[in-house]
Amino acid sequence: MATDKNDTAGENKKVAGLQQHTEDSTGQFLTTNHGLKINDDQNSLKAGNRGPSLLEDFLLREKITHFDHERIPERVVHARGSAAHGVFKLNKDMSEFTRAKFLNDTSLETPVFVRFSTVAGSRGSTDLARDVRGFAVKFYTEEGNFDLVGNNMPVFFIQDAIKFPDLIHAVKPEPHNEIPQAASAHDTFWDFISNTPEAAHMIMWAMSDRALPRSYRMMEGFGVHTFRLVNETGKSVFVKFHWKPLLGVHSVAWDEAQNISGKDPDFHRRDLWDAIEAGDFPQWQFGVQIVPEEDEHKFEFDLLDPTKIIPEELVPVTIIGTMTLNRNPDNFFAETEQVAFHVGHVVPGIDFSNDPLLQGRLFSYTDTQLIRLGGPNFHEIPINRPVVPVHNNQRDGFSRQTINKGKTAHGPNTMSGGCPFQAGKVQGGFTSFPEKIEAHKVRERSQSFFDHFSQATLFLNSQSEPEKNHIIDALSFELGKVETLVIRERMLFLLAQIDDGLAAAVAFAIGMHVPKELAKQLNQNIPADADPEQYRSIVKEGSLQRSEPLSMANTIKDNIRTRKIALLACDGVNDKNLAAVKAAVEAAGGICEVIATKLGFISGMNSDKPIPVNKSLLTTGSVLYDAVYVPGGINSTATLEADPDAIHFLNEAFKHCKAIAADADALQVLRATYFGRKLPESNDEETVLMEGVVVSNNITTLATNFINAVKQHRFWDREKARKVPA
């Protein structure tokens, strides 16, 4: 694992570049923005101590003016985010495919800044909204900045950027009443989706557990679009970019997400910050799918269609490096809020495809930053500065920080000897790939983009049964919030093009029938939209039936690193068992917190040493933990058994399918729960392991089996059969 002790020259350069703009006011005198020392910052200048304030008070005006303007416009999308610094280490030389130096030299470590975000909500919304998550990485390379601006889902709702404003207007709060915030469960969103069949595949992802990640550290990232890599000889290949978390891909339950939003709306933000502060640095493997140019048209889908994936069974992901996030920002606004990503920030050896969504983003990002960050000099904000010097003839504008010397600001010129020179390919200059294009100017879409449903069906078929049930539940919840009947009918019709069983299950849940045809056709501008049934998902003979990487059930489940375990205990607890399980969990990489009925300390039955309580049942909830352990001790178990909050804590943990463990003499606490009535009698010699519930009198066996249960993340199979009132 890379640490801050392994900083390379590149990372040191970026840190040094930020350091010159970093201030620590400890021990310093208060000054104005221009360096004037202030001897009174608590009283405005008045005409007498009870008189009116004077216009002459320039200190008051500077302070108030800055305060009035210290909030910049939030991002239209991806407004709520969290970020961290880190490094990228290449472990496979990619010079066969690209001339990008940071992908050629395995001795390099490239500094990065990564911002995770939700899409639809405002800056003040919850982290746990059902939503796509942004996954944007800024590589500070020796050839300039490369921004890989992606999401935690590999596809998108639309195929052409011209529809993006409509999509966002639809999913944002409805304009007449500004309701609901950070939610897609309302009429305008589903009106748009039900009229846009190309969104079918993305809707399957958005209604899946991928929209409810357990942590930013436990979600995948994707470049979404097909890009090009170009090598030194000018040969091009197509590429898809992937980030795969070393902790596996895990989610929370929908009910749990709603509860977390009330208990801790900063759950993901806090989780990322705390992990880095504790030295549990998040890591992702960086992978690529390479498609030779000659294979561009060999698939049943179009590589340029952003609503499609390349299944890994057809083109495996080759892992080429590892990213480690190892440092939190020093200032949220200056770094996380002011960082400006741009899909057009590339380096020599990385180029664009003709994906129409990607092409539109190339315009949108610059236009957005001009408004949000106050003008054309947003690249001079420290977090956005590259680690290499910038030389061009661009001058002036709002917030210009560079003091350019010399008489010329034009090119070509002779007065400055032609400087700054243009860099040819030999000098490492960027050269656009010379793709040959012969076509008429048209507002049309390729027929190869018309299949909207087959990959949606592939995604659904690839899910485990619990995951399929979650998709049905999500669609039922969302459409149950839609008040306009015709919108629900259109959506059921489109769902039937994906899978009859899916449509029938959702229709049953919302009390409707699946229409066999629509009274009114959809969008007439695109043939596939006008009559979607002709493109109904029919899996062709020999086509891929399932894709294992699409299911989260197949993710990494070999560790419990950074998983949070609640230890429910009160006065009189068996402190030896508590300490033994705590030590075993922490040795395996987990994090333990003692939860009691009150804050302060509790006493143990074996020692006079007080045990510190981390949280009380009043200030926390089971939704903030990954698993629960109840140690024994007569007095402790009697208190917990009689405490409604403790019983609710356990019922809720069971409802959300989490691992639960208890000493054999704490079984009475579990029996007081709704689910505990069905537990078999405890055996002093054997562990009772039932759907993630571990009970044993042997503390070593209990700890081992409990840790193994936590590794499984959730026991989703118990969800439907054993819903509990929690």
Active site residues: 78, 151
What torsion do the CA atoms of 477, 119, 458, 196 make, to the nearest 10 degrees? 80
Give the span between the Cα atoms of 563 and 55, in whole angstroms. 57
Q: Which of 268, 168, 282 is closest to 211 using CA atoms? A: 268
- Number of DSSP helices (H) and strands (E) in the chain, helices first: 19, 19
List beta partners, residue 81: 117
Q: Which residue in this structure is represented by tokens 């939030």? A: 74
Beta strands at 600-602 and 236-245: parallel, antiparallel or unpaired: unpaired
CB atoms < 10 A from the CB of 160, how many? Answer: 17
CB atoms within 10 A of CB 228: 21
Report the candidate in 711, 51, 169, 84 with the shortest Cα–Cα distance to residue 383.
84
- Report yes or no: 255 and 212 within 8 Å, Cβ to Cβ: no
DSSP state of 53: B
Q: What's the sign of the alpha-carbon dihedral 665, 671, 675, 680?
A: positive
Please give the torsion angle defined by the CA atoms of residues 448, 453, 454 and 459, in that order, rounded to the nearest 10 degrees. Answer: 130
Query: How many angstroms separate the CA atoms of 391 and 429, rounded?
Result: 13
- H or E element in which residue 206 lies: helix 200-206
Task: Sort 257 into a burial class: Cβ within 10 Å, 0-12 / 13-18 / 19+.
Answer: buried
Structure tokens at 138: 């800024």
Q: Answer yes or no: are the C-beta atoms of 508 and 277 closer than 8 Å.
A: no
One-letter identity of residue 18: L
The rounded Cα 599 to chain-centroid distance in angstroms is: 33
DSSP assignment, residue 507?
H
Compute the chain's Rg from CA coordinates.
29
State the Cα–Cα distance between residues 594 and 407, nearest whole angstrom. Answer: 68
Residue 648, burial from CB neighbour count under 10 angstroms (0-12, 13-18, 19+):
middle
Environment class of 472 (CB within 10 Å of its CB; exposed 0-12, middle 13-18, buried 19+): buried
| Beta-sheet pairing, 591-596 with 659-663 | unpaired
> How many Å apart are CA 613 and CA 694, to the nearest integer?
24
CA 27 to CA 131: how far, in whole Å? 45
Contacts of 364 (CB under 8 A, 6+ apart): 161, 164
Token pair, residue 688, equals 């009772």
Question: Which pair of structure tokens corresponds to residue 594?
Answer: 């003692």
